[in-house]
């Protein structure tokens, strides 16, 4: 993947090559940073780029910062405007991934969260599919999810993604597309970088936000679509590992992954082993919504041009 031509750094748009950090940077040494992942969707019919739910993403971003005692001189509105400016500057006319990142930029030795100064960057790159498979074969990871009292999973904390990377790499090197990670009590938490929703006996179920998951914007979006468009209910409750094996349908949701059906877990077919009918309906609705094609949900989409 090529690096972008320009980035946002501490209030200014700079050429990518000029946005540098030193090797002693706190965030690099101790993982004391937070980030986000947002998509901007190109709608070719309207010749328009829609950023999907940037205010919700930046609200969570600032909340992640709060968990690390970061005082950032930005609001969710100002960060959305900087994002629009940066897309316009590069003139993107294709679907992009937006990566905001804030980290303690002090170059010193000392593990802590106080008396430090954050830096804030945004980089934007063209981006296609994250999991390149129409139906994913996933494994239950032997790694456990970071706990709220270890590193809070509800914050998108840089250092915590070592947990995700351990799970993802072991899954991929073993031939799977992705990992599902359990929490300390053995209940289903989420994927390495996506939330999970299953349908069992005709009812949609997803782990609650107290089960060491990231409070996903796509999860929230899809739960609303299930209720409002399919007229079905969703239970937020703990999920046992073996319930997954017996589910009718399961899928991952996330800004990067978008919606990916899980058709096999550890060599066991889920439902009939192909994309389920409800998953298909939700995927269709989601893709229409994010491209700004559903009038009812147009307020989720922020225009760039
Ligand atoms: C661990 C984890 N869970 C879930 C998600 C999905 O969150 P969202 O839908 O807000 O992108 C992500 C994506 O960034 C993630 O990293």
Residue 87 phi/psi, 5-degree rounding, is -65, -45
**Ligand 1 touching residue 193 (CB < 6 A):** yes
Give pLDDT, residue 129: 74
Residue 143 confidence (pLDDT): 98
* Token pair 């980030």 in the structure block, residue: 35
Q: CB of 204 within 8 A of CB of 225? A: no
Q: Which residues are catalytic?
A: 156
Residue 199 CB less than 6 A away from ligand 1: no
Please identify, in words, the CATH class of the domain defined by 136-290.
alpha beta
The secondary structure of residue 240, as a DSSP letter, is B
31 C-alpha to ligand 1 centroid (Å) = 18
Q: Provide the pLDDT for residue 41.
A: 97
Q: Do 204 and 232 touch, CB atoms closer than 8 A?
A: yes
DSSP letter at 145 equals: P
What is the CATH number that goes with domain 6-126?
A: 3.30.470.10
- For 240, the token pair is 């046992």
Which of 210, 165, 220 is CA-nearest to residue 185?
210
CA nearest ligand 1 atom 6, residue: 254
Query: Which residue is it, tokens 């299953």?
Result: 198
Asked if 215 contacts 154 with a C-beta cutoff of 8 angstroms, the reply is yes
Q: For ligand 1, pick from 254, 258, 282 the residue to mutate: most ligand atoms within 8 Å of CB.
A: 254
- What does the alpha-carbon distance between residue 302 and residue 49 come to, in Å, rounded to a whole number? 8
- Out of 40, 163, 194, mutate this one to test ligand 1's pocket (max ligand atoms within 8 Å of CB): namely 194
* Token reading at 46: 């309207």
The model's pTM: 0.97
Residues forming beta bridges with residue 80, ordered by sequence position: none
Sign of the CA dihedral 6, 102, 206, 171?
Answer: positive
Q: Give the pLDDT of residue 203.
A: 96
In this structure, the strands spanning 203-206 and 48-52 are unpaired
Looking at residue 43, its pLDDT comes to 97
The 3-state DSSP class for residue 161 equals: helix
Tens digit of pLDDT at every position of the chain (305 positions)? 789 999 999 999 999 999 999 999 999 999 999 999 999 999 999 999 999 999 999 999 999 999 999 999 999 999 999 999 999 999 999 999 999 999 999 999 999 999 999 999 999 999 987 776 779 999 999 999 999 999 999 999 999 999 999 999 999 999 999 999 999 999 999 999 999 999 999 999 999 999 999 999 999 999 999 999 999 999 999 999 999 999 999 999 999 999 999 999 999 999 999 999 999 999 999 999 999 999 999 999 999 99
Map out the domains of the chain as residue ranges. Answer: 6-126, 136-290
CA distance 265 to 200: 15
Check if 195 has its Cβ closer than 6 Å to any atom of ligand 1: yes
Atom of ligand 1 nearest to the CA of 220: 9
CB 300 within 8 A of CB 53: yes
- Cβ(190) to ligand 1 under 6 A? yes
Ligand 1, residue 195: give the atom nearest the CA: 4
Cα–ligand 1 centroid distance for 203 (angstroms)? 23
CA pair distance 66, 281, nearest whole angstrom: 37
Q: Which two tokens stand for residue 206?
A: 């997803």
């Amino acid at each position: 993947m090529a690096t972008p031509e320009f980035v946002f750094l501490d209030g200014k748009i700079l050429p990518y090559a000029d946005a540098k950090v030193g090797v002693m940077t706190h965030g690099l040494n101790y993982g004391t940073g937070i980030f986000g992942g947002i998509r901007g969707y190109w709608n070719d019919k309207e010749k328009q780029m829609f950023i999907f739910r940037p205010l919700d993403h930046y609200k969570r971003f600032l909340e992640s910062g709060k968990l690390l005692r970061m005082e950032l001189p930005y609001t969710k509105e100002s960060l959305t405007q900087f994002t629009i400016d940066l897309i316009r500057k590069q003139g993107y006319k294709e679907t992009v991934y937006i990566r905001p990142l804030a980290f303690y930029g002090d170059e010193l030795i000392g593990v802590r969260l106080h008396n430090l100064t954050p830096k804030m960057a945004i980089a934007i790159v063209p981006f296609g599919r994250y999991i390149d498979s129409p139906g994913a074969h996933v494994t239950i990871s032997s790694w456990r999810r970071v706990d709220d009292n270890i590193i809070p999973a509800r914050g998108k904390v840089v250092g915590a993604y070592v947990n995700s990377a351990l799970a993802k790499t072991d899954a991929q090197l073993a031939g799977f597309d992705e990992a599902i990670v359990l929490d300390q009590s053995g209940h289903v938490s989420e994927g390495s970088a996506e939330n999970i929703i299953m349908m069992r006996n005709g009812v949609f179920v997803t782990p609650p936000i107290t089960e060491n998951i990231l409070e996903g914007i796509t999860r929230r979006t899809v739960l609303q679509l299930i209720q409002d468009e399919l007229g079905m209910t969703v239970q937020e409750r703990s999920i046992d590992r073996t319930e997954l094996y017996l589910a009718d349908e399961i899928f991952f949701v996330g800004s990067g992954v978008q919606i990916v059906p899980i058709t096999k877990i550890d060599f066991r077919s889920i439902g009939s082993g192909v994309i389920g009918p409800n998953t298909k309906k939700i995927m269709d609705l989601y893709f229409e919504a994010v491209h700004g094609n559903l009038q009812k949900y147009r307020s989720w989409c922020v225009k760039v041009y």
